[in-house]
Amino acid sequence: MQVQKSFKGQTDFGTLYLVPTPIGNLQDMTFRAVEVLKAVDFICAEDTRNTGLLLKHFDISTRQISFHEHNAYEKIPDLVDLLRSGKSLAQVSDAGMPSISDPGHDLVKTAIAENISVVALPGASAGITALIASGLVPQPHIFYGFLPRKAGQQKDFFESKKNYPETQIFYESPYRVADTLENMQAVYGDRQLVLVRELTKLYEEYQRGNISEVLSYISGNPLKGECLLIVSGFNSQEEIQDLDKLDLASLVKNLVEQGNKPNQAIKKVAKDFGLSRQEVYNIYHGLAE
């Protein structure tokens, strides 16, 4: 077990700060983020040119270190050496929260293993920002990031998630959205979907409707800019008629595999689908007729 006291009882090591950056609108940069980027010894940037524009805007002169998926393996030991020598680092991605869709997580794991403090700053996150304005159920939700690119792999992925009750969040390229939605509809059916485009920017847009409606709309309105998809989870009220005993048993099994105790999983499925716990218990254990 390890206990990190971020601001009291510090060692001689430096601190690794995870600093969020705006996802479009520069006014979303926090005062604390600017102060930390000015105070640290180095900034580990996914793209030094892109981050350089941000630093120039806020008059930050801290030196950058290039740190991305193609050089992370060789850079992490050097970055940890800097932290151990007492230097503090800030890690940033091109937009939003670092350590999610970039190599920051590997740096975080290594720093923790070396008993180096890792401090995350709150800030912009595209998935959560879009979710709360989507109109879909915000809790519970699951963030998956980018989907597999190949159609077969996508459909297999969707097959494994189609019975999840949680609202699902995905990132996707505007050039692949239509194909992705067709694959999603083939597996999920015509669920409620929100396509969010150019979040926080001038042309920010929310397209809310069924998958088929969004597909129809984008066929005549080609997409531009960064996109994310938010799709409703399996809904008992809308889809219970199509749900058989094997599906219910599978839902309980999935929850157990995620670490829930069987009784907890049975209780959750019963609540989600308006069924009695005894009924779901019997189905899961093969006792139902």
- pTM reported for the whole predicted model: 0.78
Whether residue 167 is found in the same domain as residue 229: yes
Domain end marker among 100, 120, 140? 120
Number of domains in the chain: 3
Percent of the chain residues topping a pLDDT of 70: 94
Tell me, yes or no, whether 22 lies in a domain.
yes
Specify if 4 maps to a domain: no
Q: Are residues 51 and 80 in the same domain?
A: yes
- pLDDT tens for 120-130 read 999 999 999 99
Q: Model confidence over 268-287: pLDDT tens digits?
A: 888 777 678 888 888 888 87
> Residue 243 has what pLDDT?
55
Residue 144 lies in a domain: yes
pLDDT of residue 241: 45
CATH number of 85's domain: 3.40.1010.10
CATH no. for residue 186? Answer: 3.30.950.10
Percent of the chain topping pLDDT 90: 70
Looking at the fold, whether 182 and 272 belong to one and the same domain comes out as no
Domain shared by 201 and 151, yes or no: yes
- Of the listed ranges 52-61, 139-148, 232-241, the least confidently predicted one is 232-241
Range of the domain at 69: 16-120
Q: Across the chain, what does the average pLDDT equal?
A: 90
Q: What is the pLDDT of residue 250?
A: 82
Q: What is the pLDDT of residues 3-60, one digit of tens each?
A: 888 888 667 899 999 999 999 999 999 999 999 999 999 999 999 999 999 999 999 9
Same domain, 143 and 230: yes
Whether 49 is covered by a domain: the verdict is: yes
Q: Are residues 114 and 154 in the same domain?
A: no
Residue 141 lies in a domain: yes
The count of other CB atoms within 10 Å of the CB of residue 5 is 8
Asked whether the predicted pLDDT for residue 237 surpasses 50, the reply is no
Q: What is the pLDDT of residue 10?
A: 66
Q: Which of 234, 249, 271 is the last residue of a domain?
A: 234
Claim to verify: residue 171 and residue 213 sit in the same structural domain: yes
Q: Report the DSSP pairing between strands 227-231 and 167-172.
A: antiparallel
Q: Does 1 fall in a domain?
A: no
Residue at a domain's end among 209, 234, 259: 234
pLDDT, average across residues 180-200: 95
Task: Say if residue 215 is in the same domain as residue 245.
Answer: no
What DSSP assignment string belongs to the chain? -----SSSS--SS--EEE--B-SS-GGG--HHHHHHHHHSSEEEESSHHHHHHHHHHTT--PEEEE--TTTHHHHHHHHHHHHHTT--EEEE-SSB-SSSSSTHHHHHHHHHHTT--EEEPP---HHHHHHHHHSS--SSEEEEEEPPSSHHHHHHHHHHHTT--SEEEEEE-TTTHHHHHHHHHHHH-S-EEEEEESTTSTT-EEEEEEHHHHHHHHHHS---S-EEEEE----HHHHGGG--HHHHHHHHHHHHHTT--HHHHHHHHHHHTT--HHHHHHHHTT---
In a domain, residue 7? The reply is no
In a domain, residue 86? The reply is yes
Question: What is the pLDDT at residue 161?
Answer: 92
Same domain, 114 and 207: no
- Tell me, what's the pLDDT at 289? 59
**Residues 280, 253 share a domain:** yes
Please answer whether residues 132 and 102 qualify as being in contact, where contact means their C-beta atoms are separated by less than 8 angstroms. Answer: no
- State whether 242 and 230 are in the same domain: no
Residues 20 and 63 in one domain: yes
